[in-house]
Structure 1
């Protein structure tokens, strides 16, 4: 119930439009009833060979209801679907805004395919809640009330008959569907999401599957999930067929009983003979409003299951909460880290009492074996995770009093895993600062040594790079990341293993470019490569999350400690 109310609250900004759509839905069914009734009246009256004048009202009625039904149906479908699709777009935007603060710390609990399934598949499922769940019961009640008033003019028995048939088809049958499909809606949503996640994972790893000849086993996994999905869909289809048959049986039974009640009334003269087909067809056509209700229960179950999945992700508390009373971003970008400790929930403590200073202009390198906690420091500085103890200040202001978004605006980040979007080179670079002008963009491209590469492309900066930059080499990807950093021009440069996986020549070129990027700015270099660190003002050597050594390159070599041993191993 709470989930349904939450979905209804989301609809409140567009409720007048949705109410108008429901109104047109009611008018559509009412016009259909009117069309069938006046058509029956016209045919029955014409059989008595009256004058054309006596048929004129029925003729006009048939024309009016025939045309109005088409118009009302168009308006109902257009307004309802337009409002619903706009609403789904708003839900997707809202969901993305809730996802962003969760990245990357909290999103590790879900596969990327699961998130994709939620933002696409689960949101798409919600359309049935707004189109097939909310309006039909209201329309059915209004149609029933109108028909009861109409039938009461001829016979109370007819009114009671229709009311009983509507209760059976609109309440008892939906309860039967709920019992037969118990749990199927939620399970169907879950299995569909599992299949989407598995398919996304398969597509992302298709090259590895081909290389290791594991296509058949992966396809078998897809087949197993598909079999479960097909079985569930078959169960739902069987229940749908049963309810459709039961609904038609109820409708035709109501038609038969209408004739049984009305024929004696015609024989006794209480009802004119021309109204016999009118009443029969009016009762039959009114079932259009109630026959959709049994499957509305199934759509409700699916929608609520999809909504619970969405809300479970969206309601996850971020790892870093914004401060209740945010301080202003200081003018100075000097960083001070004092006695900072941190542990991941699943992996235990990874940093122990780490301290360092990074004033403007200083070049600091943090080195150490894999798993020593080097990249974790970058995550803490970017406020992706909350440190457990210690203190970090930016320009003398405590980190925890500053909004995470403003802290990130201070940093230029070039990481070992640069994501390249399926867009043009221009769009990929402008992510750093969309408002940048053409000259600023060209300066960033030149600073990243991309000018010659881009000039050789047929469409230059507007060349598409494919999914995750598949058309680019590792060095070109890193240069795009450097171009982003140059365009952003933030005062602190964070370099997290920026040359991982590159050959020696490309590595030297990238490091030379990065040296220019860090000129006159504070620079923090995270690396396991110990060459080229002679120009660093200070080097921190981490071991098991602790600062084992610190000093300049020459001092650490002379000390013949951990740094010296690691250096000789390389």
Structure 2
């Protein structure tokens, strides 16, 4: 519950919508109770009326219709306002979560798998919508209606008020609370099993080709079936708790109804209450317990919401792997880059870089080559300060990167990697990722420098052309040039290129290197590549082997 309370400020931001939904829920429930009570009184009174006595049918029939319409409209309004507020709340939670997550990338906890992170960012966030829609709101509305109904019974049938109030309190508060406590472990298990199942699905999709090639697809399918079976069993246990709670509520409802009937008959015999009024109260009592049944049917989801909140809080409060200095230094004007006796490893494993000494002058084009696993990409990661070396230091203009604000550093250094994505958006918005305030002149200049401006101009919508998922509407070479243009838009004086020609044929590769030579004029370029580099593309080449510079 503590983890769920951490999201209270976000709930408070949507308080107006949530309170309006609560009010409409209360109106819906009250109208339903009034509809049943009025109908019972009306039918009984009409049946007991003799033919010789006139009976006003208009007023009670109007009340029945009025309460019916009020209930329908309030229910619609409750769903509309409640779901709107909840969806906006989920958007706020996602914004808050991503805001907390960005400074923590790369995550310090490297045991968190990709599939588990995806599960937390999607399913766990969605689970929080139950906190209001199916728990807090209905409970609050039920308490109000139960209190009012107890007061009405205390006025008309005093002998029934105490038993009804006790039964209603147990059904609306005690049983749901006991359900939450007893199902807490089952709810946590459901969330964990669901996350494991999603990870199995993602792993199976990502590695399908390898699983087929190595002939272990059957083993993977069996593992997935085991995880799915465990999830089903956990959900079954959670459902059993909810079923027991629903049975308890029905028992309490029956007890309350019998007590009101017994006390009502005694009051009727004593002439303290009319028969139609007693019947109306009986049906109103029955209608009031409708809220408690809805609570129990859905409050079981609150245990999964609490488990989801704990998982989200765990990510949001993870230690920041790379932190800004308390008193950052100004970004130096001299952009010389230097690695001085740098050694780096991941998580205490064997070093991937050893005693690296490397100097890159402003405006120099440097290519870093070497076999896979030699530490080339790790070198770029240190330069972007996505990680810090275990020993030695990396400096920019003589200032250690650890003394600079990361935002300043990332504005100074731009990256084009082999995995740089083209997003399912317009060309304009893809380019603006590089610099949000760039105007069309700057965008066209970057496109022309990347030698793709003519292609974009030939498109019917130009910069407003939507590229499709992963840029499927353009070729691989064009996609890579668009990513280069986005990097150039940034105006960063230092460009890091990590295998930018990966996946291109030799002709497209040579064309890209030719473009690179002209497009990056005046900027410092660090190019990591396996490709054969055409003469004149770079000023110097450094080879890495086994994490060390080959001299």
TM superposition score normalised by structure 2: 0.88
Alignment check: 8 A CA contact 1:367 1:530 kept = no
Shift of 1:390: 3.2
* Partner of residue 22, structure 1: 22
Residue 296 of structure 1, CA deviation: 4.6
What is the alpha-carbon distance in structure 2 between the residues aligned to residue 528 and residue 39 of structure 1?
A: 82
Aligned residue for 1:98? 100
For 2:280 and 2:485, the matched residues in 1 are separated by 76
- In the TM superposition, what is the alpha-carbon distance from 1:426 to its structure 2 partner? 5.0
Tell me what 1:386 maps to: 388
Q: How far apart are 1:316 and its partner, in Å? A: 1.6
- Secondary structure of 1:361's partner? coil
Residue number in structure 2 paired with 1:527: 529
Q: Secondary structure at the match of 1:291?
A: helix
Counterpart of 2:495 in structure 1 is 493
CA contact (8 A) 1:186 1:305 kept: yes
Match of 2:81 among 72, 79, 82: 79
Deviations 1:246-268 (A, max 9, x none): 43343233222321221122112
Distance in 2 of aligned mates of 1:381 and 1:519: 21
Q: Deviations over 1:419-463 (max 9, x none)?
A: 233345554444323444444434433332335766787877666
CA 1:471 to 1:196, structure 2 compared with 1: closer, same or farther past 3 Å? farther
| Mapped partners of 1:420, 1:318: distance in 2 | 28
Corresponding residue number in structure 1 for 2:289: 287
The aligned residue for residue 37 of structure 2 is: 37
Q: Aligned partners of 2:379 and 2:276: how far apart in 1?
A: 87
CA contact (8 A) 2:135 2:299 kept: yes
Of 236, 248, 251, the residue aligned with 2:250 is: 248
8 Å contact from structure 1 (residues 41, 278) kept in 2 = yes
Residue 366, structure 1, aligned to residue 368, structure 2: yes
**Cα offsets for 1:216-264 (capped at 9, x unmatched):** 5544444333222233333333443443344334323322232122112
Matched-pair contact (CA < 8 Å) for 2:517–2:537: no
Counterpart of 2:115 in structure 1 is 113
SS in 2 for 1:317: coil
Offset at residue 121 of structure 1 (A)? 1.1
Match of residue 335 from structure 2: 333
Trace 1:423-462 onto structure 2 (pairs within 5 A).
423-425=425-427, 427-450=429-452
Q: Deviations over 1:10-31 (max 9, x none)?
A: 2122224322322222222122
Report what 1:9 is aligned to.
Answer: 9
Residue among 405, 410, 415 paired with 2:412: 410
Which position in structure 1 is the counterpart of 2:484?
482
**Shift in CA distance, 221/466, structure 1 to aligned 2, threshold 3 Å:** farther
Q: Following TM superposition, by how much is the alpha carbon of 1:492 offset from its aligned partner in structure 2, in angstroms?
A: 1.0
Q: State the distance in 1 between where 2:272 and 2:416 align.
A: 89
Note closer, same or farther for the CA distance 1:247–1:119 as it changes in structure 2 (3 Å cut).
Answer: same
| Aligned-residue offset at 1:307 | 1.0
Q: Which residue of 1 aligns with 2:424?
A: 422
After superposing the two structures, state which structure 1 stretch, 452-461 or 526-535, moved more.
452-461
CA distance in 2, matches of 1:15, 1:535: 60
Q: Equivalent residue for 1:268?
A: 270
Quick one: distance in 1 between partners of 2:34 and 2:420?
Answer: 65
Cα displacement (A) at 1:68 = 2.5
User: Is contact 2:115-2:202 (8 Å) kept?
Assistant: yes
Is 1:126 matched up with 2:109? no
Deviates more, 1:147-156 or 1:394-403: 394-403
- 8 A Cα contact 1:365 1:533, kept in partner: no
1:170 has 2:144 as partner: no
Matched, 1:143 2:148: no
Count residues in correspondence: 549
Query: Which SS does the other structure have where 1:336 is aligned?
Result: strand
* Corresponding residue number in structure 2 for 1:557: none
Which ranges in structure 2 are unaligned for 5 or more consecutive residues? none
Task: Please list the CA deviations of residues 61-99 of structure 1 after superposition, one character each: whole Å capped at 9, or x if unmatched.
Answer: 434433322333233222222111100011111222223
Q: CA distance change for structure 1 residues 454 and 63 in 2, over 3 Å: closer, same or farther?
A: closer
Residue 305 of structure 1 and its aligned partner are, at CA, apart by 0.7
Partner of 1:155: 157
- Segment drifting more, 333-342 vs 491-500: 333-342
Aligned CA-pair RMSD: 3.1
Contact 2:143/2:172 (8 A) holds in 1: no
User: Structure 1's 473 and 112: CA in aligned 2 closer, same or farther, altered over 3 A?
Assistant: farther
Distance 2:537 2:483 in 1: 23
Q: 1:35 to 1:534 in 2, by over 3 A?
A: closer
CA deviations 1:85-143 (Å, max 9, x no partner) are 10001111122222323334547543333222222211111100121122233222222
Q: Tell me if structure 2 keeps the 8 A contact 1:340–1:390.
A: yes
Within the candidate set 224, 228, 231, 1:229 is matched to 231
